[in-house]
Amino acid sequence: MKRCCFRITWITLFLWSLLLCSAYSACEPQMGLIDNVHRVFISGYIIDFHNEPVRDVVIRIWVDGKRQKICVLGKSAEEVVSEPDGAYLAEMELPEGFGPSSIVKVEISKASFRMTSLKFSGSGFAVLENNFFLQQNISIRRSMGPAFWISTAILLGVYILISFDLLHRTIAAMLGAALALTISSTLGTLNPQYHIISFETAMQKIDVNVIFLLMGMMIIVGILKKTGFFQWVAYKCFQIARGKVMILSLMLMSFTALSSALLDNVTTMLLLTPVTIEIARSLRISPFVLLIPAILAANVGGTATLIGDPPNIMIGSYAGLSFMAFLQNLAIICAINTLALFVMSKFYYGKLYANVKVEDVHVFVQKLRDKYQLTDRALLCQGFGVLVLVVFLFVTHGYGQMKVSVAALAGASILLALAVLTKKVKLVDLIDNEIEWPTLLFFLFLFIIMGCVEETGLLALIADLVLNLSKGNLTAAICLVLWVSAIVSAFVDNIPFTATMLPVAAYLSEAIPGAENNVLWWALALGACFGGNGTMLGASANVVTIGIAEREGYPISFFEFMKVGFVYMLISVGIANLWLLLFYA
């Protein structure tokens, strides 16, 4: 028995020794193992002109004119690819005759970037136990190849389809995203110059934080609608305004701007759009004569604080700016532009407001009181309790690094559980009727399209233009950052554009004398946020509001919104430009 156990033990040890020997001799760069076979290690980061990491860059290596095999995850490969943070590691067996006189050539390639080749001599390598090490960061520059022009054409095509109402915006965005992915998977496989974006990268470009934020708030608003709250608010607003539509519009704009600063503009419009539509129905006018001024006010009000608009959150995180810094530097100019919006609304809609006649205000108010009443006070109290919790998490999310979507989903799940358990809401009806699926899908596909033009260099080209034209002049830099951000954000989602401009603004803030007071960060925030008013696709709040109105039977065309929004964008950005030059330049 002992002999049998002895043999089994020796057989087991022998098998384990074989496994260990094979594992020890295998190439395992991730574990950093160095065996008896001496090796060459080349590592570093791939960065672009803005010192931002570049992912999916292909690296090939030659030593003394001979192509080298590279160890990748324990296997031999022809090339290695950079990680999402731009890092790369090329590990090779030590070539025969490798020494100080050897010439190592590193070739770097990626679609929409110039092919880059660098040469190093063996004498530049560090030597440790006959293993050679070289740490080298590599900067590559953009090129306008086929992928650049195709992605730009897709973006323009989608805007044309939406602008002239040739296709619903969700279908147009879906078509553009699918076309970019199809070209990348077919022509891009045959020729890397046609590769626009990989499927994995496209999925990472989708801002799930925005999608889940919208979904969570849609659920909360959908449940609150069951209580009759929004209809009751419509009645109270009309009662306070005493039938004067201009006063009613001013009240809505003021409340929207303030709420957008304390919450965020998307959440505010999700909450107020149903109220505004109910008011317009009561007055028998188009909701857009009240909604468009409210949308513009939401984007201006959201600019005043760190949490009011996504670009501000990105700028504050990147530049280390506090909530109070945004409030102190942007609140006054936002208030001035809100007053300008009052004047413009009077000019645009004054006659239409005046033509709305209510013969007997008292009787009409009594009619609204009878028609619009609170139907479920218990559910309303639960909803407001959850809403207060969500608002608190919004305001304090920066301290615990909580995403705003987490706060929205937490509140939505709590309220939904309470409503379903008490049988106040049917889950299927809520999902079908209250969540704006076309709007969510539109954002999803739009993020992919924006990812395409970001990957192929269109946004970087615009950022480089700002950098080159400023030429170290503070006044020119302020004007360029402000106006370029505004114009581009009107037509391109301001989130990826802001991300592209962050390193440019940081560089200019350090390089230009007088920019130490963060004026370029304020110019970027004002341009990106105010620019969202330019078109119906310029800001998330615009898309959400128009989606809800469309679901209620009130569609609006691209140019119908633009003829008001773009004019106000020019006015507000012009006022902001004067403000920045007067107090910061």
- Whether residue 159 lies inside any domain: the answer is yes
What's the pLDDT at 399?
A: 65
Same domain, 49 and 166: no
Residue predicted with more confidence, 302 or 214 = 302
Q: Is the dihedral angle over the CA atoms 172, 173, 174, 176 positive or is it negative? A: positive
- Whether residue 18 lies inside any domain: the answer is no
In this structure, the strands spanning 39-47 and 138-139 are parallel
C-alpha angle 451-443-258 in degrees, rounded to nearest 5: 115
- Whether residue 352 lies inside any domain: the answer is yes
Residue predicted with more confidence, 83 or 283 = 83
Q: Is the pLDDT of residue 23 over 70?
A: no
Same domain, 188 and 335: no
Which structure tokens are listed for 441?
Answer: 């899908």
pLDDT digits (tens, 9 = 90+) for 31-46: 333 345 688 999 999 9
Same domain, 103 and 173: no
Residue (of 26, 185, 188, 192) closest to 107 by Cα position: 192
Which run of H or E residues covers position 120? strand 116-121
Average pLDDT over every residue of 429-434: 87
- Rounded Cα gap, residues 288 and 546, in angstroms: 9
> What's the CATH number where 129 sits?
2.60.130.10
- Whether residue 419 lies inside any domain: the answer is no
Q: Is the pLDDT of residue 14 over 50?
A: no
Same domain, 68 and 194: no
Same domain, 70 and 117: yes
Q: Is the pLDDT of residue 116 over 50?
A: yes
Same domain, 84 and 187: no
Same domain, 483 and 530: yes
- Whether residue 270 lies inside any domain: the answer is no
pLDDT digits (tens, 9 = 90+) for 513-537: 888 899 999 999 999 999 999 999 8
Q: Is the pLDDT of residue 71 over 80?
A: yes
Residue (of 169, 118, 180, 112) closest to 142 by Cα position: 112
Residue type, 235: Y
Which residue range is the domain that position 165 belongs to? 146-205
Alpha carbon separation from 35 to 19, 21, 44, 184, 346 (Å, rounded) = 15, 10, 22, 40, 79
Last residue of a domain, one of 118, 139, 160: 139
Counting the structural domains of the chain, the total is 3
Say which residues have a Cβ less than 8 Å from residue 32's Cβ, sequence separation at least 6. none
The pLDDT mean for the chain works out to: 86
Same domain, 176 and 72: no
25 confidence band (pLDDT: 50, 70, 90)? very low
Please, which residues bridge with residue 113 across strands? 142
Q: Is the pLDDT of residue 224 over 70?
A: yes
Average pLDDT over every residue of 352-363: 80
Q: Is the pLDDT of residue 398 over 80?
A: no
Which structure tokens are listed for 336?
Answer: 């001035």
Last residue of a domain, one of 109, 139, 169: 139
Same domain, 197 and 335: no
What's the pLDDT at 4?
A: 44
The 3-state DSSP class for residue 361 equals helix
- Whether residue 27 lies inside any domain: the answer is no
Residue 318 · residue 287 · CB < 8 Å:
no
Say which residues have a Cβ less than 8 Å from residue 368's Cβ, sequence separation at least 6. 234, 235, 238, 239, 282
- Whether residue 576 lies inside any domain: the answer is yes
Average pLDDT over every residue of 149-165: 89
Q: Give the per-residue SS3 of 130-154.
A: CEEEEECCEECCECCCHHHHHHHHH
What's the pLDDT at 303?
A: 96
- Rounded Cα gap, residues 224 and 387, in angstroms: 10
Same domain, 91 and 176: no
What's the pLDDT at 5?
A: 42
Percent of the chain surpassing pLDDT 90: 45
Same domain, 80 and 173: no
Same domain, 58 and 112: yes
- Rounded Cα gap, residues 466 and 494, in angstroms: 16
Q: Is the dihedral angle over the CA atoms 402, 405, 411, 414 positive or is it negative? A: negative
Average pLDDT over every residue of 481-498: 86
- Rounded Cα gap, residues 544 and 408, in angstroms: 16
pLDDT digits (tens, 9 = 90+) for 166-180: 898 899 999 999 999
> Residue 316's CB: how many other CB atoms inside 10 A?
20
Last residue of a domain, one of 114, 139, 164: 139
- Whether residue 371 lies inside any domain: the answer is no
